[in-house]
Structure 1
Amino acid sequence: MIDAHHHLWDLTAVHYPWLAAKGVLRFFGDPSPIQRNYLLPDFRAEASALGITGSVHIQVGAADPLAEAKWVQAVVDANRDWPMVQVVHCDLTAPDLAQQLDVFQALPSVRGVRQIVGRAPGEDAQSGTNALLDDPGFLEGLLLIGERGLSFDLQLIPELMEKTARVLGQAPRTNVALCHAGSPHDRSPEGLKAWCQQLRWLSDLPHVRCKLSGLGMFQHRWTVEDFRPIIETCLDQFGADRCMFGSNFPVDSLYSNYETLLRAHERLIPDSQRSQVFAETAARFYKL
C-alpha cells in the first residue's frame, strides 16, 4: 500500500514560513498543532501499522525549495527500507527553469513538480496564484517537464477547472495528478453538484489522475458519509486505475488520526478497486 500524498518537515533543517508564522489562520484551519517537526518515524508510526509500505512526499511551502528537496533526498538515502519518492516545488514560468530542473533531477527521488494554482477562494484572492493560468510561460513549463519525464501535481479549486483543462489539453505528454480531488470547498448539495460538473473537464483528459486526499481540509468534523459523494464521483469519472489514496498528513491530522482516515476510504472503495487505489495507480504514476 502506498500513501501518494503526505508531507514531512524538520523545522531545524528547512525554513517553512507558514510553519513559523504564529496565530495565522489558513484555509484549512488553525495550523498551530502541526507547527512542530513531523519526521519520517512519526509518519511511519501511524502509517506502517495499517499496511502502508511506501509513500510520495509532496513539497509543502519551503522558503528554499531546493533545500527542502535535498533534505527529503537525505531522508530517502538514510531510510532504504522505506520506498519514498518526492514531488518538488519549481516555478514553471521561471526563465531559468531548465537549469533548475537539471539540479532537481540530479536527486534520484524526484518524480515531479507541484506549483499550486489554487488553494481556496480567500487565499487565492490574496496570493494571486490563479494568474499562472494566463501566463504563457506556465504552459511552456508544463511542456518542458513532460519532455523530461516529470509529472505535475495540480492543486486548484473547482472554479478553475475548465480554464486549467484548456491549458493541460495542450500538454498531453505531461502526466498530471489532481491533488485533493480538486478541493471541493463548498460541501452543500449545490456546491458538490458544481464540483462534479467542473471535474469532468479534468477527468476527460486521459493524462490526468486523481488523488483521494485532503478531504478533511474543508470539512473538519467529517463522517464517512461526508466523503461518499466525493470518492464515488472520482471513481466514476476517473476509474480506479486513475485514482490513488493520499493521507495529506500531517495536515489532515488536524481533523482525525491516520487509522480513522484510512478506514473511511476503505469503506467507500469497493474491494475490487482497492489494489489500484491504494497501490497500483500510485506505483505506476510515480515509478515507485
Structure 2
Amino acid sequence: MRIDAHHHLWDLKAVSYPWLMAKGVARFFGDPAPIQRDYLIAEFREDAAAQGFGGSVHIQVGAEDGLAEARWVQTVAEETPDWPMAQVVFCDLTAPDLDAQLDAFQALSTVRGVRQIVGRAPGEDAVTGTNALLDDPAFLRGLQLAGARGLSFDLQLIPELMEKTARVLAQAPETQVALCHAGSPHDRSAAGLAQWAKQMKALSALPQVTCKLSGLGMFDHDWTVDSIRPIVAECLAQFGASRVMFGSNFPVDSLSSDYATLAGAMRELVPEADHEEVFGGTAARFYGMGA
C-alpha cells in the first residue's frame, strides 16, 4: 500500500485553527488565503488515490485544542474505514499533566505519535521563541515518556537547530523520530544546501530518526524537479530508502503545486528500486500501518 505520510485536514466548523483564519497575515510558507477553507478527506483522497496512494498519516496542524482536533480526525478515520489513516497529534511535552494528556490521546486508536514544533523558519521562530524547547529539561522528559509509551515524535525544525536537537534526541533513544520536511532547508543557495546537508548528518547518524520528503515547496513556490533534486538525493544518501518516506504536506503545499505534479516529481527523483520503501514501506513500519 502506498502511504502519504504527511498531510492535513480541517473542517473549520468542527475545530478552531486560529493561525489559519488570521486574515492578511503572511506566513513563512506564503499567503494562506487560498487554503482558508475546509479541506476534507474526500478532496484529499481523490487527489492521493489518483496517484496510487491507499492510506495516509494525518499530522496535527495548529488547532486551538489539540485533543479536539485528534478526536475529529478519529471520527473521520472511522467514517472512512476503506482509507487507512493514522494520526500524529499535538501535545505539549512540557506539560505537568503530560501523562494524563497522553492517556486521553492514546484512547484513540489512530494515534501513533505527537508533534510539537521546534522550529518553523528563522523569522517566525524569533517571535515565537519555540526554539527554547531544546533547553527545557521537561521537553526531554516528555520525549522520553512518549517513547516509553510507544509513541513517535514528528520533528519540525530548521537546519540551524539540528546539531543541538540531535544531542537532545540522543538522550531519548527509545523515541522514534520523523524528521518533517527534510529538515526545512530554507536557504536554497548552493552554500545553504551544503550547510543543511552538513547539519543533517547529526540527525541521520541517530538510528531512531527517519526522514520525510515533504514540504519542499514551502520555502520555494517556484521549485522544479531539478531544483529539489539535490535535496531528495541527499536525504536518500544520508538515511537510505528504509528511513525515508514521502509526504505531500497538502493542502499547505498546494500553494506551490498540484498533487499530481508533486507526486510525479518525487517518483521521478526517487530511484525506482526505492519506490516501495519511500512511498509506503517506511511509513507502514514507522506508523504501524498495514503494508
Separation in 2, partners of 1:285, 1:111: 9
CA root-mean-square deviation: 0.4
Per-residue deviation, residues 76-102 of structure 1 (Å, max 9, x unmatched): 010100000100000000000000000
Residue identity opposite 1:106 in structure 2 = A
Separation in 1, partners of 2:144, 2:260: 38
Q: Tell me which residue corresponds to 2:168.
A: 167
Separation in 1, partners of 2:269, 2:56: 21
Scaled by the length of structure 2, the TM-score of the pair is 0.99
Q: Tell me which residue corresponds to 1:6.
A: 7
Separation in 1, partners of 2:101, 2:116: 14
Matches within 5 A, 1:240-251: 240-251=241-252
Per-residue deviation, residues 78-134 of structure 1 (Å, max 9, x unmatched): 010000010000000000000000000000000000000000000000000000000
Alignment partner of 1:219 is 2:220? yes
Per-residue deviation, residues 135-182 of structure 1 (Å, max 9, x unmatched): 000000000000000000000000000000000000110000000000
Tell me the secondary structure at the aligned position of residue 53 of structure 1: strand
Matches within 5 A, 1:1-288: 1-288=2-289
Tell me the secondary structure at the aligned position of residue 222 of structure 1: coil
Separation in 2, partners of 1:270, 1:121: 33
Residue identity opposite 1:114 in structure 2 = R
TM-fit CA distance, 1:50: 1.0
Separation in 2, partners of 1:160, 1:36: 33
Residue identity opposite 2:241 in structure 1 = A
Separation in 2, partners of 1:230, 1:20: 32
Residue identity opposite 2:169 in structure 1 = L
Q: Alignment length, in residue pairs?
A: 288
Separation in 2, partners of 1:204, 1:102: 32
Following superposition, which runs of at least 4 residues in structure 1 exceed 3 angstroms of deviation? Answer: none
Separation in 1, partners of 2:104, 2:201: 36
Residue identity opposite 1:176 in structure 2 = V
Residue identity opposite 2:160 in structure 1 = E
- Which segments of 5 or more consecutive residues in structure 1 lack a partner in the other structure? none
Separation in 2, partners of 1:141, 1:75: 28
TM-fit CA distance, 1:20: 1.2
Scaled by the length of structure 1, the TM-score of the pair is 1.00
Tell me the secondary structure at the aligned position of residue 193 of structure 1: helix
TM-fit CA distance, 1:15: 0.2
Separation in 1, partners of 2:184, 2:197: 11
Tell me the secondary structure at the aligned position of residue 88 of structure 1: strand
Residue identity opposite 1:36 in structure 2 = R
Separation in 2, partners of 1:208, 1:35: 33
Per-residue deviation, residues 186-210 of structure 1 (Å, max 9, x unmatched): 0000000000000000000000000
Separation in 2, partners of 1:272, 1:264: 16
Per-residue deviation, residues 53-80 of structure 1 (Å, max 9, x unmatched): 0000000000000000000000001010
Residue identity opposite 1:170 in structure 2 = Q
TM-fit CA distance, 1:45: 1.2
Separation in 1, partners of 2:135, 2:19: 26
- Which segments of 5 or more consecutive residues in structure 2 lack a partner in the other structure? none
Separation in 1, partners of 2:153, 2:256: 27
Separation in 2, partners of 1:110, 1:232: 31
Separation in 1, partners of 2:58, 2:227: 26
Separation in 2, partners of 1:123, 1:67: 26
Residue identity opposite 1:102 in structure 2 = D
Separation in 2, partners of 1:2, 1:104: 22
Separation in 1, partners of 2:195, 2:50: 38
Separation in 1, partners of 2:208, 2:181: 17
Separation in 2, partners of 1:24, 1:54: 33
